[in-house]
Amino acid sequence: MRRMLTGNEAAAIAAKLARVKVISAYPITPQTVVVEKLSEFVADGELDAEFMKVESEHSALSACVGAAATGARTFTATSSQGLMLMSEILFVASGMRLPIVMANANRALSAPLNIWCDQQDSMAVRDCGWIQLYCENNQEIIDTTIQAFRVAESLSLPVMVCYDGYILSHTAEPVDVPEQGDVDEFLPPYQPQYVLDPEKPVTMGPMGVPEYYEDIKCMQQEAMRAAKEKLVKVDAEFGKKFGRRYKLLERYHSDDADVILLTMGSLSSSVKEIVDRYRERGEKIGLVKLRSFRPFPVEELIDALGHAKAVAILEKNISFGSAGALFLDTAASFINVEKAPLMLDFICGLGGRDVEALQIKEAIRAASRAAESGEVRKAVRWLGLREKLVGLRA
């Protein structure tokens, strides 16, 4: 069925279609509607689940851990400060290999307080061991969230489905909502490998002494690497059944491009439009839209970007004291590759600042200049800065 849905509604409906059994989530702008919608579904009997009125995000995720360990399919949602508050437990959930699925409406981090979109929040926890998938539009949100449960449960790894706050979370778009029967076929009931059950007592979350800790962590990293293949497989199956595929990344007019832009999330849509205009003029500009940030698809990126002369990374986050996270991981991917493109990092859209066509074109210009000259004057720049105010040159 085709419906006009906001990103938050899409995430909530996906959780409903996945027949989650326990929802434990705390409201925070701009995710609140996810929690409200799920609460309504449960209240009306549309979803047979326990809705926990938790008192903080830390408790929200803690309850998810308890519920998942007891064998229930669990779901939570958060943003920004909430994600930071639960960050301790993010590492625990992945370390304990629990297939919790989370919707994260990407929002800027305090200080100063900001409720609008950027990707600093999920980037700040990129090390936490959760699979991280970024959605371009609301259709992708509903599809990715449904896929997330399959991926999570087959790998015993938690999955974070990220989508831009306000830009997607609060904007209604036409979405094809999958039928419940089809989702039931795609997503069988959760069969945990280990479960808390008096009939077969297990101990979960013991003290991992030095004799074993590193090995257990290595197993976790191996699971993350295996996740890449699993993501592709599940996505392919989803595509067969529902007619929509996303893969680990999307190549948009990039195969013959000298200058390629690299983005994640809704910004990809804006960049696609700009790329179209350049292509109309015969200029070989392309876009690679990255969907899976964790696991980071090194081989696929090398394959997609390797032939370019310059890559302009547009990202809504910054690792203070260094550069943007996407730039850092992309650059690292090419470190041992002989033929590597020049790379330029563009920090943009922080705290909900609009990334306008002019800014995107500026990035393309800078990357084109680098492609031509063969050198990069300044690797990390900021777009859309109010230079006079800040007294700096971007």
Chain residues in the site for another protein (CB under 8 A): 21-22, 24, 48-50, 52-56, 58-60, 62-72, 74, 88-89, 92, 95-98, 156, 193-194, 196-198, 201-209, 212, 215-216, 219-220, 223
Give the nearer residue to another protein in terms of CB position, either 86 or 162.
86
Give the nearer residue to another protein in terms of CB position, either 182 or 214.
214
Residue 271 tokens, joined: 């960049």
Q: In what order do the strands lie in the sheet with 131-134?
A: 50-52, 22-24, 74-78, 101-106, 159-164, 131-134, 292-294
Give the nearer residue to another protein in terms of CB position, either 53 or 240.
53
Give the nearer residue to another protein in terms of CB position, either 204 or 332.
204
DSSP bridge pairs for 387? none
DSSP bridge pairs for 108? none
* Shortest distance (Å) from residue 58 CB to another protein: 7
Give the nearer residue to another protein in terms of CB position, either 72 or 161.
72
Are the C-beta atoms of 235 and 147 separated by less than 8 Å? yes
DSSP 3-state of 357:
helix
Residue 136 tokens, joined: 């371009």
Query: CA–CA separation, 364 vs 310, rounded Å?
Result: 9
Give the nearer residue to another protein in terms of CB position, either 44 or 55.
55
Are the C-beta atoms of 309 and 258 separated by less than 8 Å? yes
* Shortest distance (Å) from residue 18 CB to another protein: 14
**Residues 349, 57, 292: CA angle, nearest 5 degrees:** 45
* Shortest distance (Å) from residue 200 CB to another protein: 8
Q: Which of 101, 82, 136, 107 is nearest to 14 (CA)?
A: 101
* Shortest distance (Å) from residue 314 CB to another protein: 37
Are the C-beta atoms of 135 and 141 separated by less than 8 Å? yes
* Shortest distance (Å) from residue 368 CB to another protein: 48
* Shortest distance (Å) from residue 72 CB to another protein: 4
CA atoms within 13 A on the CB side of 184: 3
